[in-house]
Amino acid sequence: MKKTTYHLSLAAALMAANPAFGLTAAPPSTGPADKAASDVIAYQITAELTAEVGHRQAGTQAEQRGRDWALKKLAKLGFANVREEKFMMPTWVRGAETAVITAPQKMELSIAALGNSGSTGAAALTGEIVYFQTFDDLVAAKDDQVKGKIIFIDHNMTATQDGSSYSYFGRARFQGPNVAAKKGALAILVRSAGTADHDHPHTGNTNFEAGVTPIPAAAVSNLDADKFVALYVKIRRPIAASLTLTPKNLGQQPSGNVIAQVTGSNSALPPVVIACHLDSWDLATGAFDDAAGCGIITAAASYIKNHGTPLRTIRILWAGAEEVGVWGGKDYAVQHAATPHALAMESDFGADRVWRVDFTLPEGAKPLQDRITRRLALLGIAPGRDKATGGADVGPIIAAQGLGVIDLQQDGSRYFEIHHNARDTIALIDKKQLQQNVVAWTIVLEELSNYAGELRPEIKP
């Protein structure tokens, strides 16, 4: 591997250390981005939030403790206008969960209920497992192949740097339970939407259409899914299983966003909003998803703040209840509909290095885009070919106001080994890669917050 995969390159370090050096025509890199190169704030936020609060499942007391922690932390870091904006959202919580193959031989499977799963009740549900190789095969199946059965959906998700395989292979989890329920299945097990062969099932939300009664739905760890499929191959006859899942719906519960800002000097300029999400799944402490994102954006904003007052306000949004339906992002767009925004960004794809940058900006902002591109290139980040689209939590405000967007795309090569399972802890965070994120974010925020031009692609200057 190359020297500079996630470090600042020697050349960039040189420029940072000695702005007057050399004959290069590039503007000397001084200021907040230099400080970000030795950042510890992002790691501290990630470590403290995951250690002191633990998991932060949406709608629970744990998430409230996360908000309380965030309010204190953001105030302590010196941000302005630190506040909580509460909202109510439907809350589902995990209960007991066991799955056992009972014949032809006994085999326990590691499972995790999917968000919105129905309950089997305390008494185990028993039935025969029917195997489908892919989500599409389930869709194409006749009702009588499914009715009264426990469905198993297999698939072959592999790792991608851009994370693009999740949307395709993830359909087994996102939509599989709804399809199975409509065809009359008793329950459904899906191979985890993950790319590593470990014994930790990957949870995550699933969605049932209005009017469809949720059936018990769980993910099987990839290791146990392999064992199950091997058994199925060997015996080639129906497999009897016993399944217990006792999740509960708690009805409407409070969640909330935590908001803070770096106040710009020109109040006529609409703010840039930068987002992460504070909630996590309950199986781990959510270091990658998404404590690190909160650490990254907050660290970067703090370097801007500490360097002096920027022209434009940077608003920080630690969104609530992202995992279970983007409730915080939706609430933010409604609550702040009357405030024009300029541009939105989000960090919600783990803690590994930024490898690509995408833009959605007006033509008039081309010089700004070029300047950002040149500065990011020193970190090994190349411009992509796609339009920037933002993350889940800023999606509603982008759609409502037609905002500019910049996406600092993180390397997803190992994200789906960690995402939504018990391994999502501080132990797997790579500090060097986390720092590279903070430097990249600081560069972008420095440029954006000192740019007085139009950032919304559809507004004519």
Q: Which stretch binds a copy of itself (CB under 8 A): 15-23, 242-250, 421-429, 437-445?
A: 15-23
Please give the Cα distance from 184 to 36 (Å, whole number). 55
Please say whether the beta carbons of 203 and 112 come within 8 A: yes
Say if strands 187-191 and 217-220 run parallel, antiparallel, or are unpaired: parallel
Residues 338-367, one symbol each (x = binds a copy of itself by CB under 8 A, - = not), give: -----------------xx-----------
Helices 292-307 + 41-48 axis angle, to 10: 140
What value, to the nearest 5°, has the Cα angle with vertex 408 and ends 402 and 409? 110
Q: What is the DSSP string of 73-131?
A: HHHHTT-EEEEEEEEEEEEEE---EEEEEEESS-EEE-EEEPBT-----SSPEEEEEEE
Q: Which stretch binds a copy of itself (CB under 8 A): 5-13, 32-40, 260-268, 395-403?
A: 5-13
Please give the Cα distance from 396 to 330 (Å, whole number). 6
Q: How far is the CB of 142 from a copy of itself (least distance, A)?
A: 8
Q: How far is the CB of 275 from a copy of itself (least distance, A)?
A: 22
Q: Which stretch binds a copy of itself (CB under 8 A): 104-112, 224-232, 247-255, 289-297?
A: 224-232
What value, to the nearest 5°, has the Cα angle with vertex 429 and ends 424 and 434? 130
Residues 103-132, one symbol each (x = binds a copy of itself by CB under 8 A, - = not), give: ---------------------------xxx
Please give the Cα distance from 371 to 314 (Å, whole number). 19
Question: What is the footprint of a copy of itself within residues 226-255 (CB under 8 A)?
Answer: 226, 229-230, 232-233, 236
Tell me the number of residues near a copy of itself by CB under 8 A.
70
Q: How far is the CB of 251 from a copy of itself (least distance, A)?
A: 37
* 430 binding a copy of itself? (CB under 8 A): no
Q: Which is nearer to a copy of itself, 63 or 154 (CB)?
A: 154
Q: How far is the CB of 289 from a copy of itself (least distance, A)?
A: 19
Please give the Cα distance from 238 to 102 (Å, whole number). 11
Residues 143-182, one symbol each (x = binds a copy of itself by CB under 8 A, - = not), give: --x--------xxxxxxxxx-xx-xxx-------------
* 197 binding a copy of itself? (CB under 8 A): yes
Q: Which is nearer to a copy of itself, 157 or 283 (CB)?
A: 157
Q: How far is the CB of 322 from a copy of itself (least distance, A)?
A: 22
Q: How far is the CB of 156 from a copy of itself (least distance, A)?
A: 4
* 428 binding a copy of itself? (CB under 8 A): no
Please say whether the beta carbons of 415 and 453 come within 8 A: no
Token digits of residue 269:
């300029």
Give the sign of the dihedral formed by CA 44, CA 45, CA 46, CA 48.
positive
Peptide bond into 104 cis (omega under 30): yes
Q: Strands of 139-296 (E only): list them.
A: 150-153, 187-191, 217-220, 239-245, 248-262, 272-277
Q: Which stretch binds a copy of itself (CB under 8 A): 20-28, 59-67, 178-186, 336-344?
A: 20-28
Question: What is the footprint of a copy of itself within residues 33-52 (CB under 8 A)?
Answer: none
Q: How far is the CB of 412 from a copy of itself (least distance, A)?
A: 9
Q: Which is nearer to a copy of itself, 257 or 409 (CB)?
A: 409
Token digits of residue 200:
């930790």
Please say whether the beta carbons of 128 and 239 come within 8 A: yes
> Per DSSP, what are the bridge partners of residue 150?
129, 187
The residue from 25, 122, 123, 338 that contacts a copy of itself (CB under 8 A) is: 25
The residue from 44, 207, 413, 425 that contacts a copy of itself (CB under 8 A) is: 413
- Provide the 10 A C-beta neighbour count for residue 315: 26
Which residues here bind a copy of itself, judged by CB under 8 A?
1-5, 9-12, 14-15, 18, 21-26, 130-134, 136-138, 140-142, 145, 154-162, 164-165, 167-169, 194-197, 222, 226, 229-230, 232-233, 236, 355-356, 374, 377-386, 413, 417
